[in-house]
Structure formats: C-alpha cells, structure tokens
Chains A and B, each alone.
Chain A
Amino acid sequence: MSTGNDRPLRLLLIIISVLFILLMLVTPLVVILVEAFRSGLEAYTKAVTDPYALKALKLTGLATVAAVVLNTAFGLAAAWAITRFSFRGKGLLTTFIDIPFAVSPIIAGLVFILTFGRLSYLHPFLAAHELKVVFATPGIILATVFVTLPFVAREIIPVLEARGTDEEQAAALMGAGFLTIFRRITFPHIRWALLYSVILCAARAMGEFGAVSVVSGHLRGKTNTLPLHVEILYNEYQFTAAFAVSSVLVAAAIFILVARNIVEFTARKESDYVR
C-alpha cells in the first residue's frame, strides 16, 4: 500500500482526524473543566456535595449497577442460547436484542409511561399493590436497563460463535455437567469480552438522558439522575454548579475509558480475544 507518493494523503488524513477530535471532543472537555472551576474550588466542592447532587449520584449509581447486573445475566443467557442451541425464532430473538439500539430513547421512555402509567391497563393492578414504576426509581432503572440491553449479548455472541462448540461437546462427552462446562471452558473464553461489554454498558447507563428524562417526572431528590441534575442546574442559572456536576460524569467516563484500554491491552496479551 505504501508507495511513496501517498504521503500527502496520509498527512491530510491525520490532520483531519486530529483537528476533528480536538474540535469535537477535547475542546468541550476543556470547557467543562474550566467552567467547573471558574468560581474556585470551594464552589466546586459545594456543587458536587450538595444533597440533591449526592442523591442524583446515588440514583445514577443504582441504575448503572442494576443495568450491568441484569444485562450481564440476560446477555450471557441469550448469547449462550443463540450460539449453542438451534430453536424456532432464534433469528427473531437476535433481531429483538438490537431494538434498543434502533429505537430513540424518548420513544422507549414513552412506551414505559404507556405501559405502567396511570392511564395504562396495568395501572389498577399496580395501584392495588401500591407499586410505583414510572415517575419513581423502578422506572429509572427500567429505562436504563432498556437502553443498555444489547451491550453484553452483542459482544459475547461473536466470540462464542468464533470458538465453535467442539471443546464443550468433548467435555460433555466426558461427563461434565453444565456448570463445569461453563466454568472451565466457556467462561475463560468470554471473560474479556464480558468485562469489555460491562464497561461499555456502565458508561452508557451513567450518561443516559432521553429515556430517563421521560419517565422521571423531574422530582428533585427522588427521580433525578446525574445527567438530569445537570440540566436542572443549567436551567436555574447555576452554570458553575452545572459544569461541576458534569465534570463528575466526565471523570467517570475517563475512568471507564482507561479501564477499557487496560482490559483491551491485557486481553490482547493474554488471550485470543481481539477486537
């Protein structure tokens, strides 16, 4: 490919990429940090330790953990089922897993309102059992789980497919049970893919805005996640506080990116999982 006179092209492509990244990613990040500390460290600390901010942080953490745990369990089960068994409707299941990627988060939120809201068919049952789904914590969790549903399954299916089933069949022939096979053969192959997908899932869950905004009802201190809290602060002329809280989300994102790179690096060194 390298023929000597593609140097100008190479240079041009590199310049375009670097400039684009600088303009689109680095500058906004710098702006967030500058704005966050504009009124000094004291104002920053006050904004991020404000009781409403802490409650929002707690809710975002809860929704993220729930999304990761539920989607890991679901993703493993679905990936295993799809790659190891043949059954009617397999193609349909595979397609359905992708729906959250295709549907706008706003629509997802509205669907939950229509399913669990006061005007839904389920409402009399929910009200009779004093269950609140939308405009309460379960709704926030549900919306977050929905938008992050495909991550784990999507990451693990190709790995399992590439491995084939030979080793597992051999183990089964030798009398190993399901759990032994999963623990000793399948899991070691997918662990890096799994970790990688969990990291992506967590990143997406933390930042989710659209679907959560619809089901939240914006009850301060109750159904406000961190991204929603940023919007509220911005709307209340508390710009420094808005950027300070944003910087917490940015820090979490950077932490996740670093973790992702470590995972990728270690995985490449240690196993056959290559992205």
Chain B
Amino acid sequence: MKKILALSLGLAAFIGVALAGSLQAAELEITNVSYDPTRELYDSYNKAFQKYWKGAKGQEVTIVQSHGGSGKQARAVIEGNEADVVTLALAYDITEIEKAGLIKPGWQKEFPSNSSPYTSTIVFLVRKGNPKALKDWGDLAKDGVGIITPNPKTSGGARWNYLAALAWADKQYKGDQKAVKDFITKVFKNVLVLDTGARGSTNTFVQNGQGDVLLAWENEAYLAIKEKPGEYEIITPSLSILAEPPVAIVDEVVAKRGTQELATEYLKYLYSDDGQRIAGKNYYRPSNPEIAKEFANVFDLKVNLVNIDDPLFGGWDKVQAEHFNDGGVFDQIYTPPAK
C-alpha cells in the first residue's frame, strides 16, 4: 500500500515536471500549417531559412511543421490550431480562414503572384509502359480504368484534379453542359479509392499498387518517380490547370504571439532566388520566370494551362459553391462504389 502511494506520488511529480518543461519553451518559433505534398519542400526550405535568419539576425528560429489535406488543415486552423503562417493548396481554403476572422481581407495581394510563390499543375502518373494507353482526360472515362485521386471535399489537389478534367471536357464538348457532366460522372465511376489527402492517394497508388492512373500534383508525381525510379511514367494531358497554392500570414496568431516580422520574412524569403530554386528542386514551378527557365528541362513550360479565374470557372467562391459544397455537382455525380 505504501509502495503504491509512493509510486503514484512519483508519477504525479513526473507529470508535473513534464508539464513545467513544456511550458517554459519561450524561444523564437513559428508554426507553418501546410498541405500534404509540401513535406519535402518545407523540410529543405526551413533549413535554408533558419540559416538565412541566423545570418541576418543572429537568432536561432524553430519552425514547427504540420501537414495534411488542405481543407482539413484550414478547418484545424479555424478551430484553433495556432498557425503563424498557412501555406495551403488553394486560395479558397485560406479564404475560409479569412471568413473566420483570423486573416485580414486582401491577403492575396500581400505577396507577389497572387501570394503564390510557386505553382504546379495536374498530371497523370501511370505504371511503366502505360499499359492502359492513357494519353488524355478522355481516356479516363473508358471502362476498366482504375483511377486514384483524393477526395475533393478534404483535399486541395483533388479539387484541382476535378477542375482540370472539367476544363478539358468543356473544351472537348464545346460547352455542352450535359456531355460535360456525363463525362465527369464516368471518370468518378472509375475512381477506386478516395483518400483524404494527396499523399494518401500517392501511397495508395505507389505503395499499395492500386489503380492504373494517379491524378496527381506535378510535384507529387515527380517525387514518386524519384522514390521509385523506372516504375512510373508521367503523362501530361493536352490541357490542364494552373494550380496556385498560396501562402498567408495568420494575422490573429502573429499579433498574439508577436511574430509578425518573422512570419513576414519567412514567406518573403520564398520569393528570393534561393527560395525559388528550392521550390524548383522540389518539383514546384517557381513563380519567378527567370528561375523557372533554369528548370526548363524538368517542366513542360509550354503546357496549355487554364486559370481558376478563367470565365469557365469564375473564381474559387463560385466554383466551391457550385461544385464542392454539400449538394453541389460533385455530390450529384459521385456515389461511393458499392462493395
């Protein structure tokens, strides 16, 4: 009995010490809440920024990273996950945080290029030799093609996938809305697994060997090829979408923590030549055209890309309300496969 008492007192003391230990962390620190495929990008960027900051200000800075599906991450920030900066997959998710009052309106004009220091596009990742001969979006609607894409409800990349398919179909069927909808329905009938984030989908395709084609961020596709050389091929469709993953300072959090300057410099440095090259090396298209040219042998810089502000889409607010909100087009066309 005495032993048990002593033991529990010891445990209580241990918890006390551990809690005290976690409270005293008052060092220079910012949190970057990001989306799924930027893990490797920010891993190398953070190291470069830490070095830069040490050189410029002589201070050590800690950067806490968090990754997940873009929509899910935005939700967590709204619910109180304290991010100094958010670097998400699409503007709509940051606008949601703005609507919740954490970010001031006009954030997308705060940094150059729509606050998107790097861009990407959507490509097909297929198995070596392209056994199902998938060349363009039209091939995805054929019977017997197994598609892997994340869920547009939770993932930013998935919304870009969906919109890229939509853009192609709109051009192909010359704006015939019924034909476009039929096409999209057929494509999503072929979807085998809907993961919550882009990286989950890549793992489903690459590690678990499911499906014939992965609809992926260009950077995610290149990374998969780098991980498993010789097993996959990238197919660039005839038309795709210009995906702009923007960055923003979370005003409410930096005001509370006093990290305004550090957070601003952290995002600004993404636009420096150094930051742009790190983006390029991680297969994101640098927004600075001069630096992008250095990666001309990696990216197909001439690919036909439509923009979210194209009249076809009319911006994220419209697209989100029309396609992805509850009861929208995506809910109408997608029924989970009966197993």
Contacts and interface: CB of A to CB of B under 8 A. Distances in A.
Nearest to A236: B39
Q: How large is the interface on B (under 10, 10 to 19, 20 to 34, 35 or more residues)?
A: 20 to 34
Contacts of B227: 237
B15 interface: yes
Interface in B58-79: 64-68, 76, 78-79
B81 A137 contact: no
A217 B39 contact: no
Interface in A200-216: none
Contact of A222 (B64, B78, B100, B199): B64
A260 interface: no
B24 interface: no
Interface in A171-204: 183, 187
B12 interface: yes
B81 A62 contact: no
A119 B78 CA distance: 8
A234 B202 CA distance: 11
- DSSP class of B's interface residues: helix, strand, loop or mixed? helix
Interface in A211-243: 217-222, 232, 234-237, 239
B8 A119 contact: no
B79 A65 contact: no
Interface string A123-134: 100000000101
Contacts of A135: 76, 79-82
A234 B36 CA distance: 13
B19 interface: yes
Contact of B11 (A69, A117, A222, A236): A69
Nearest to B76: A217
B19 A137 contact: yes
Contacts of B39: 235-236
A253 to B, nearest CB: 21
A119 B79 contact: yes
A219 B81 contact: yes
A97 interface: no
A127 to B, nearest CB: 9
Contact of A218 (B15, B66, B203): B66
B201 to A, nearest CB: 11
B8 A221 contact: no
B80 A118 contact: yes
A268 interface: no
A66 interface: yes
A36 B203 CA distance: 18
A258 B275 CA distance: 52
Nearest to A73: B8
B294 to A, nearest CB: 25
Nearest to A182: B1
Interface in B4-57: 8, 11-12, 14-15, 18-19, 22, 31, 33, 36, 39-40
Contact of B15 (A66, A183, A217, A220): A66
Interface in A56-95: 58, 62, 65-66, 68-69, 72
A69 B18 contact: no
Contacts of B203: 234-235
A217 B39 CA distance: 15
A124 B225 CA distance: 48
Contacts of B15: 62, 65-66, 69
Contacts of B200: 235
A244 interface: no
Given A65-B11, A69-B8, A69-B12, A217 B81 contact: yes
B80 A134 contact: yes
A108 interface: no
> Which of B15, B100, B227 has most chain A Cβ within 10 Å?
B15
Contact of B40 (A137, A222, A236): A236
B64 A134 contact: no
> Which of B14, B76, B200, B203 has most chain A Cβ within 10 Å?
B76
Nearest to B23: A137
A157 interface: no
A158 B22 CA distance: 39
A259 B297 CA distance: 60
> Which of B14, B68, B79, B200 has most chain A Cβ within 10 Å?
B79
A113 interface: yes
Nearest to B197: A235
A219 B73 CA distance: 11
Given A117-B80, A234-B203, 10 more contacts: A66-B15, A69-B11, A135-B76, A135-B81, A217-B33, A217-B76, A220-B64, A220-B65, A222-B64, A237-B223
Interface of A: 58, 62, 65-66, 68-69, 72, 113, 116-119, 123, 132, 134-135, 137, 183, 187, 217-222, 232, 234-237, 239
9 contacts: A58-B18, A65-B14, A65-B15, A118-B80, A183-B1, A234-B203, A236-B39, A236-B40, A237-B227
